[in-house]
Structure 1
């Protein structure tokens, strides 16, 4: 089985611009040599070191400066290789059986693993392995960190090998990454939409950075002294003034010249919700208004969802029903009724 969807061939965007280049690839292999070749943007060699017929699979989402993939193999493999130059690698096991060693460190189920920029990878996989891996371009990551977080960049780029992590953190990361792949897999052609690519790019970056901050290995600094209510008022004003094309959290932070951590803390203090949830409510209201004012049969719910930045139809339906007490299809059939 093989699926490959490519959109665009333009240069890498900045941290707040939607990636103009995107691809989604799904492939199953029965040969370790083909498995090594299947992974885009890597130069690597695989050597099968346990006996038996090989079976592997790869799901890859590439969004300009971000590559996110899930790789499964049912045999122990000795890997040697490198991602593209000037990139940082972070990953998490989904399920592993038997001993494995990433850059010389023993791989354990509840852990994150890292590869420093411009380093060679040596990975002796477990006898059965299922892992998520993200590769982040340093230029985009540096800009994101400078504009939206208080992470110590130099410390971050020294992370290498395996770092044990809490079960709660690992489960949260696996859940988030699973839903990212599920959403793209269910609607891969949503990547054609610029807004979907922008939201997906932001979701992936936020998921990874929050995980790193929670791990506690990146030494975040102290947030600045801001008046929380003033921050929320300015953020709401900016969000609502652009509700026809709601900004991402990154764009809000850039507009207000504050970090993501500071914005999140202010919203929790003042509104008891996150800025991500507040922006989602704006987008849900936009989608609801469009569904209410469009005659049935004139529009697909998936098209409306994509226009408002929802790339995962299952989650869109869940969020919509939770907020409005009815499904999008009910709203579309009902439309606006005179009061």
Structure 2
């Protein structure tokens, strides 16, 4: 029998990201300590509801599958993704269409709620409402202070686990789906698009994203801060400011943690026969294995030799 509701726990950020349905995404852990994540998901026939919580600071990069849209928002973090230490008092909802990649910088202890659905259905309903500002590929939607529709939607998402035993009944699923779709578009009808754009912050975000691309494109040849400054044609202080504003970390710390995440993904996806720890480390430019092992344990809370690999039990 098909399962319409699932609740999972993860001890690895990469595995967590892979198990959220309808996304092609990767999580890069940037805060020290063992990772813990939970994901609750509901499938309502083309309407997918998810709630996920992560305990560590992450870089969240990916896209929703082609032909789909996603509406997502944080519900229990003191800062908004992509806005390091920037207070968020009114819900900020991200809207993205399939094939359009995003990169978010999520604080620790963040809970993220979201909905994916067919872009065809979304556009048909949004046009019927006369709301045209959401046609852009990626944008933020700012909900009005005191608005009630979004509160109703959030409550509906929170109550999904209460209805788990009802999802085996087709009529119950159809009723719950109809109620949620109504709540989604009531909330969008109440929303107002953000008119003010912080150009400086967008520039900082773009700079960090370009650096992220460069890091992933040159795994065996670790880039230095000077390399990044030269490639982007910016001074060291500008690069430093960009990383501190967006990620809360220095460029050097961010570079190293992205490479450690790369090694961890290699270890998690290959057996000890296919690849040694030393080979995985060298592929991401780590030469001094003692220092590498120390940094790996500091970030992930375990030595690389204790990381669970295919075909082995730790």
TM-score range, shorter chain: 0.5 to 0.7
CA-atom RMSD in angstroms: 2.7
Does 1 or 2 have the higher relative contact order (CA < 8 Å, sep 6+)? 2
Maintained 8 Å contact 1:94/1:132: yes
With normalisation by structure 1, the TM-score equals: 0.51
Alpha-carbon deviations, 1:142-191, whole Å to 9, x = none?
34345xx33245x322163433333433x753454334442x42342311
Match 2:28 to one of 47, 63, 66: 47
| Distance of 1:115 and 1:107 partners within structure 2 | 22
> Which runs of 5 or more residues in structure 2 are unaligned?
195-314
Residues 33-83 of structure 1 show CA distances to partners (whole Å, capped at 9, x for unaligned) of: 221122112111111011112111111112222111111111111111121
Distance, in Å, in 2 between the alignment partners of 1:107 and 1:33 is: 28
List structure 1 runs of 4+ shifted beyond 6 angstroms. none
1:145 and 1:164 map into 2 onto residues whose CA distance is: 16
Aligned residue in 1 for 2:154: 177
Query: Separation in 2 of the partners of 1:141 and 1:172?
Result: 18
CA-to-partner distance for each residue in 1:13-37, whole Å, 9 max, x for gaps?
xxxxxxxxxx211112222122112
TM-score (normalised: structure 2): 0.54
For the 8 Å contact 1:82–1:121, the answer to whether it is kept is yes
Shift of 1:128: 2.3
Counterpart among 127, 133, 136 of residue 158 in structure 1: 136
**1:28-177 alignment, distance < 5 Å:** 28-98=9-79, 100-101=81-82, 108-110=88-90, 111-145=92-126, 149-153=128-132, 155-158=133-136, 160-169=138-147, 173-177=150-154
Return closer, same or farther for 1:132/1:33 CA change in 2, 3 Å cut-off. same
Q: Give ranges in structure 1 of 5+ residues lacking alignment.
A: 8-22, 219-339
Match of 1:6 among 2, 10, 24: 2
Tell me how far apart the structure 2 counterparts of residues 29 and 90 of structure 1 sit (CA, whole Å): 23
What secondary structure does 2:129 align onto?
Answer: coil
Q: May I ask how many residue pairs the two structures share in their alignment? A: 192
Q: Do the aligned partners of residues 192 and 48 (structure 1) sit closer, same or farther apart at CA in structure 2, a change above 3 Å counting?
A: same
